[in-house]
Amino acid sequence: MVTGTNGKTTTTNLIAHTLKSADRAVAINSEGANMKTGVATTLIKNSTLFRKI
């Protein structure tokens, strides 16, 4: 989880890129919606019926 005032999007994108480069599964909230519905949508988009996130 990345928190703070400035640089969250850049930091999150760098972390996600690094993890993806290492063939790790990444769920990133690229829309920036940090309310419950935005987080839930990100988790749903990055999961399947038979696989965990």
pLDDT of residue 8 exceeding 80, the answer is: yes
Where are the chain's structural domains?
Answer: 8-45
Residue 19 has what pLDDT?
94
pTM, rounded to two decimals: 0.64
Rounded to whole angstroms, the Cα distance separating 53 from 31 reads 18
| pLDDT tier at 53, thresholds 50, 70, 90 | low
Residue 23 has what pLDDT?
94
Task: Print the SS3 string covering 1-53.
Answer: CCCCCCCHHHHHHHHHHHHHHCCCCCCCCCCCCCCHHHHHHHHHHCCCCCCCC
Question: For residues 46 and 27, is the Cβ–Cβ distance under 8 A?
Answer: yes
Q: What is the pLDDT of residues 10-52, one digit of tens each?
A: 888 899 999 999 999 888 877 666 677 778 888 888 888 777 6
Residue 33 has what pLDDT?
65
Rounded to whole angstroms, the Cα distance separating 47 from 9 reads 22
